[in-house]
Amino acid sequence: MVEAWWVGVGEGVWVRRHAELDLSLGLVVGERACLVVDTGGDGAQGRAFAGAVREVTGLPWRVALTHAHFDHAFGTAAFGDVEVWAHPGCRRELAENGEGQREEWARRYRDEGKSAIAEEIERARIVLPGDAPVGDVDLGGRVVRFMYPGDAHTDHDLIVHVPDAGVVFAGDLVEQGAPPAFGDAYPEAWPGALDRVLALEPVTLVPGHGEPVEAGFVRAQRAEIAQVAALCRAYQDGVITEEEAVERSPYPAEFTVEALSRPRRRAGR
């Protein structure tokens, strides 16, 4: 049984919160259509989310993926033959590394004694998205806007802005309840990406994991990530050691060491 519940963040805008991985998925409802934001980490989670959406609205749905990590994208098949939108890099990442994610996370869940989740991940059908539209998408009486804020948590993060509700679905650019994950990140560029998100002046930001937050929370997390970025530069320049970076970091050692291994920017950027 998937433990999940709805949290309202605006008129016709909801977050589906999940106990597993503290995951947050989204739903935006207009007069003629609705937009599903991320789909969960496997077929069971995707089906449960699709069923929960249908309890809220019977309107035609479209899907937006904030990025290609399995917990946000492996549930997409549950929504059937539908338009799926993402940054172009999301499609590339799923095509090239989706099977690697499947193997890694199925193994990790088995090691944790959660074989049922591992089996669902192994059975999940990976759906490759198309490119997100440029400009407004009209859901009927309400528009949503997609924005690529630059390299951050990945090189293909997509945010979903609901201007009339003052809500931004930020994906894993923002984490509440745990430190940001740096495994595919660009720490030096991440603070600038958050600046572009904050420039939208959202009332509420929905993180990829954790509870919805206000702009003040994101500004504080931006400052922490900027601190990590500075430590990464100093470490890569040979000014400080890994041990010194870990000691000065606002985040636990495992997160900091992961950040230290990441490139400053992608080649050619």
Tell whether the model's pLDDT for residue 267 goes beyond 60: no
Which residues fall within 8 angstroms of residue 176, CB to CB, at 6 or more apart?
207, 209, 210, 211, 212, 213, 217
149 found inside a domain: yes
Beta-bridge mates of residue 110: none
Instruction: Report pLDDT for 268.
Output: 43
Mean pLDDT of all residues in 109-135: 96
Instruction: Report pLDDT for 263.
Output: 85
Residue 40, phi-psi category: left (phi > 0), alpha (psi -120 to 50), beta (remainder): left
117 found inside a domain: yes
242 found inside a domain: no
188 found inside a domain: yes
* Domain assignment of residue 116, given as a range: 4-213
Instruction: Report pLDDT for 246.
Output: 98
Domain count, the chain: 1
126 found inside a domain: yes
pLDDT tens column, 207-255? 999 999 999 999 999 999 999 999 999 999 999 999 999 999 999 999 9
218 found inside a domain: no
Mean pLDDT of all residues in 155-178: 98
262 found inside a domain: no
% of the chain residues with pLDDT over 90:
96
Instruction: Report pLDDT for 19.
Output: 96
Beta-bridge mates of residue 190: none
The CA distance from 168 to 206, in Å, is 6
Instruction: Report pLDDT for 265.
Output: 66
Nearest one of 74, 62, 67, 68 to 30, comparing CA atoms: 62
pLDDT tens column, 42-78? 999 999 999 999 999 999 999 999 999 999 999 999 9
DSSP codes, 12-57: TEEEEEESGGGBEEEEEE-SS-EEEE---SSHHHHHHHHHHHHHH-
150 found inside a domain: yes
**The domain spanning residue 186 has which CATH number?**
3.60.15.10
